[in-house]
Amino acid sequence: MCRKHYQRWQKYGDPLMVKIDPARSIEERFWAKVDKNGPVPAHRPDLGPCWVWTGARSRGYGILRLNYKNIRAHIMSFTWEYGETPEGQELDHLCRNRACVRPTHLEAVDHWTNVARGISPHGVNAAKDRCRNGHLFTAENTRINNQGARVCIECARAACRASYHRTKAKKKAAA
């Protein structure tokens, strides 16, 4: 037996027994697993301290068992404070702490906004305001290619000119 099941066997006489007090409400169970003295996000100190989930986690997000289903703790906290998440939107942790359940640290946004605010490669590239050659990504100097990536028009023109001159030089050398 693993440690968890061994402890259950010692405490209840059954390794599969999970004792849930029926007198405790879901709110009492929820708040018993929240530490309101969490860290203050370094990139957003204006948000204040995180409320860190101390219970079970899945991929960094706090989870709570309710009616035989796992529910993410931050979604439950947001729902209690502001109501259901609008259709087609998801919750973004403004503090970048997945274990945080503080409602003021959560915002309902569309998927692309959530990704763009993150620190993944997609988010890092979305935050860039210049191309690799230093040209600004402005409405006049940017187009979107077939793959959905931003292309600097000034750099694209320079690449076309260089290709033209290389081809012209090859033809001249061959003649």
**CATH code of the domain in which 122 resides:** 3.90.75
If asked whether residues 64 and 23 sit together in one domain, one would say: no
* Structural domain boundaries, residue 122: 34-127
If asked whether residues 66 and 102 sit together in one domain, one would say: yes
Q: Tell me: the pLDDT tens digits for 19-58? A: 666 667 888 889 999 999 999 999 899 999 999 999 999 9
Rounded to the nearest integer, the mean pLDDT of the chain is 89
Q: Tell me: the pLDDT tens digits for 56-100? A: 999 999 999 888 889 999 999 999 999 999 999 999 999 999 999
Residues in the chain: 175
The string of DSSP codes covering 111-150 is: HHHHHHHSSSHHHHHHH--B-TTS-B--TTTEEE-TTS-E
Whether the model clears a pTM of 0.85, i.e. scores above it, the answer is no
Strand, helix or coil at 97?
coil
Q: How many CA atoms lie within 13 A of 149 on its CB side?
A: 7
If asked whether residues 123 and 54 sit together in one domain, one would say: yes
If asked whether residues 115 and 54 sit together in one domain, one would say: yes
Q: How many distinct structural domains can be found in the chain? A: 3
If asked whether residues 135 and 54 sit together in one domain, one would say: no
Residue where a domain stops, chosen among 88, 112, 127: 127
Confidence of residue 119 (pLDDT cuts 50, 70, 90): confident
If asked whether residues 168 and 95 sit together in one domain, one would say: no
If asked whether residues 92 and 113 sit together in one domain, one would say: yes
- The answer for residues whose C-beta is within 8 angstroms of residue 66's C-beta and 6 or more apart is 26
